[in-house]
Amino acid sequence: MPDPDADFNVGYVAQLCRLELTAEETVQFQEQLSGVIEYMKKIDQLDLSGIEATAHAVPAFDVYREDEPTASLSLEEVLRNAPQKSQNQFAVTKVVE
């Protein structure tokens, strides 16, 4: 049976989510989540004054390159790899009625 003094009631949340948990699963998840909550409480006690809040552990930079036009394959080269072609396009089997 879940600890009634726990900060997180797995049985209640499972009911809200329409999940059917066995008694063993409920106890297991209750213990695991209680451990996570205890760890979060320890972190909450840390003095974090002077530390700037961040969304990521490391700074995120724009990793996209500038768009630069480059040479591409010619139509003939592309269609050379097509198993079937029709009117200068790839021909594929109909998949939608």
Contact 8, 33 (CB under 8 A): yes
Is 0.75 surpassed by the pTM of this model? no
Other beta carbons within 10 Å of 30: 20
The CA distance from 54 to 46, in Å, is 16
Reading the chain (97 residues) residue by residue, the pLDDT tens digits are 444 445 678 989 999 999 999 999 999 999 998 899 899 999 889 998 888 888 788 877 777 888 889 999 999 999 998 999 999 999 998 888 8
The beta strand positions in the chain, using DSSP E, are 85-86, 89-90
